[in-house]
Amino acid sequence: MESLFSLAGKVAVVTGANTGLGQAIAVALARAGADVAAVGRSPSDETGRAVEAAGRRFLAVSADLATTEPIPRIVAETTAALGGIDILVNNAGIIRRADALDFTEADWDAVIDTNLKSAFFLSQAAAKAMLQRGGGKIVNIASMLSFQGGIRVASYTASKSGLAGLTKLLANEWAGRGINVNAIAPGYFETNNTEALRADEGRSREILGRIPAGRWGRPEDLGGAAVFLASAASDYMHGAIVPVDGGWLAR
């Protein structure tokens, strides 16, 4: 059973792995046996120490995914240092909050470019590297707002609904070529991304009151789903958007 979930000998690229969900996913993948390339604009030393403590190789790739410009270098640096790419986790993401009536074009573009455009073009570049090794696994980090509308987060909802659609499109195109494309839709987790929500007492109470598990998610709650979708255990899964949400969507 252990070998079904083993990532031994695999190389994983995780974007936005310096903190929050990306960090927890990177560490979980390393504990399951994968070497990890952490891609991001802030230093990911803490993640590096945890990956190396798990006995795996670690590479930090400094890149700002607000544009697609660094993508060829991300693939080249990872391949040169770690030998190839087997797993890509598109986790880096931002959120901007404003009423739809006041929402600016800058807040629209920043979120769509980071959360959706870079995820697509990094998937495209990584898939080419994966095909050289006979296949791979892509895991997109979606959201409850891949299913629901949300409020005051127009570009975020558009980006995460888009990412869910893209997950299915890429699964359709690449399933027959040995690449699994799936997504995890986290519920409400305690990270920088939800700091404003948690600071707002009213919103925080409302959200907590609707989570059947009775608590916000902790980043390490995502590790199991990430390892599953990155491993042979999910070889027949394509285009799924898997909620890890304490039951939020079941309400």
**Chain residues in the site for ligand NAP (CB under 6 A):** 15-16, 18-22, 40-42, 64-66, 91-94, 114, 141, 143, 186, 188-189, 191-194
* Residue from 69, 9, 59 nearest 39 by CA: 59
Report in angstroms the alpha-carbon separations of 7 from 31, 103, 136, 220.
Answer: 9, 43, 11, 18
- Give the Cα-Cα-Cα angle 244, 247, 251 (nearest 5 degrees): 140
3-state secondary structure of 69: coil
How far apart are CB 112 and ligand NAP at their closest, in Å? Answer: 12
How far apart are CB 170 and ligand NAP at their closest, in Å? Answer: 17
How far apart are CB 202 and ligand NAP at their closest, in Å? Answer: 18
User: Measured from the CB atom, is 113 or 175 closer to ligand NAP?
Assistant: 113
- Cβ 38 vs Cβ 78: under 8 Å: no
Alpha-helical (H) ranges within 113-153 are 118-131
* Residue from 191, 207, 195, 103 nearest 141 by CA: 191
Per the structure block, which two tokens stand in for 82?
């770690």
User: Measured from the CB atom, is 3 or 192 closer to ligand NAP?
Assistant: 192
For residue 215, the tally of other CB atoms under 10 A from its CB is 11
How far apart are CB 87 and ligand NAP at their closest, in Å? Answer: 16
Catalytic residue among 156, 189, 228, 248: 156
* List of residues 6+ apart from 21 with CB closer than 8 A: 91, 141, 186, 189, 191, 219, 222
Quick check: is 188 catalytic? no
User: Measured from the CB atom, is 21 or 230 closer to ligand NAP?
Assistant: 21
How far apart are CB 146 and ligand NAP at their closest, in Å? Answer: 9
> Using CA atoms, how far apart are residues 39 and 92, in angstroms rounded to an integer?
9
Catalytic residues: 156
